[in-house]
Structure 1
Amino acid sequence: MIENFSNLKIPRYEQVRLHIQKLLTNSNWDEKTPLPTEQEFADRYQVSVGTVRKAVEKLVEEGILIKKQGRGTFLKQPNFDSSLLRFFKFRDKDACYVTPEGIVKSITIVDGNDDINSKLNLERAQALIHIERTRMVGDKVLLSEKIWLPKSRYEIFATLEPKDFENLLYPFYYKQCGQFVSSAVETLFFITDYVDPYLGNTKNENLVKVCRIAKNLEGEPIEYRESYGLADKFSYEININ
Structure 2
Amino acid sequence: MTEIISDARLPLYQRLRDHLAERIASHVWRPGEAIPTEAELAATHGLSIGTVRKAIDCLVAEGILERQQGRGTYVRRARFNSSLFRFFRFQSESGERRVPQSRILRRKEVPAPSAAASALRIPPGEPVINLSRLRLIDGVPLLAEEIWLQRSRFAAIMEIDSGDFSDLLYPLYEERCGQVVVSADEVLTVETANTMQARLLRLEAGAPLIVIERIAYDLERRPIEWRRSRGPADRFRYHAEIR
Aligned mates of 1:236, 1:158 — CA distance in 2? 35
1:89 correspondence with 2:94: no
**Conserved? CA contact 2:100–2:167, under 8 Å:** no
Aligned mates of 2:241, 2:13 — CA distance in 1? 38
Aligned mates of 1:78, 1:135 — CA distance in 2? 20
1:180 correspondence with 2:180: yes
Which one of the candidate residues 173, 184, 200 is aligned to 1:198? 200
Pairwise CA distance, 1:51? 2.0
The size of the alignment, in residue pairs, is 239
- SS of the residue corresponding to residue 198 of structure 1 reads helix
Aligned-pair identity (%): 36
Pairwise CA distance, 1:37? 2.5
**Conserved? CA contact 1:2–1:46, under 8 Å:** no
Pairwise CA distance, 1:207? 0.8
Letter in 2 for 1:14: Q
1:34 correspondence with 2:43: no
Corresponding residue of 1:222 = 224
Pairwise CA distance, 1:191? 0.5
Corresponding residue of 2:50 = 50
TM-score, normalization by structure 1: 0.89
Aligned mates of 2:96, 2:53 — CA distance in 1? 46
Name whichever of 119-128 and 53-62 sits farther off.
119-128
TM-score, normalization by structure 2: 0.88
Corresponding residue of 1:208 = 210
**Conserved? CA contact 2:86–2:240, under 8 Å:** no
Post-superposition Cα deviations, 1:86-142, rounded to whole Å, max 9, x if no partner, equal 321133233444332122222111112222112112222421111111110112111
Aligned mates of 1:170, 1:215 — CA distance in 2? 11
Aligned mates of 2:159, 2:165 — CA distance in 1? 12
Structure 2 unaligned regions, length at least 5 = none
1:162 correspondence with 2:162: yes
Name whichever of 51-60 and 95-104 sits farther off.
95-104
Post-superposition Cα deviations, 1:196-231, rounded to whole Å, max 9, x if no partner, equal 142143332111111001111221111111000111
Letter in 2 for 1:120: L
**Conserved? CA contact 1:68–1:74, under 8 Å:** yes
Aligned mates of 1:193, 1:103 — CA distance in 2? 20
Residues 12 and 239 from structure 1, CA distance in 2 versus in 1: closer, same or farther, beyond 3 angstroms?
A: closer
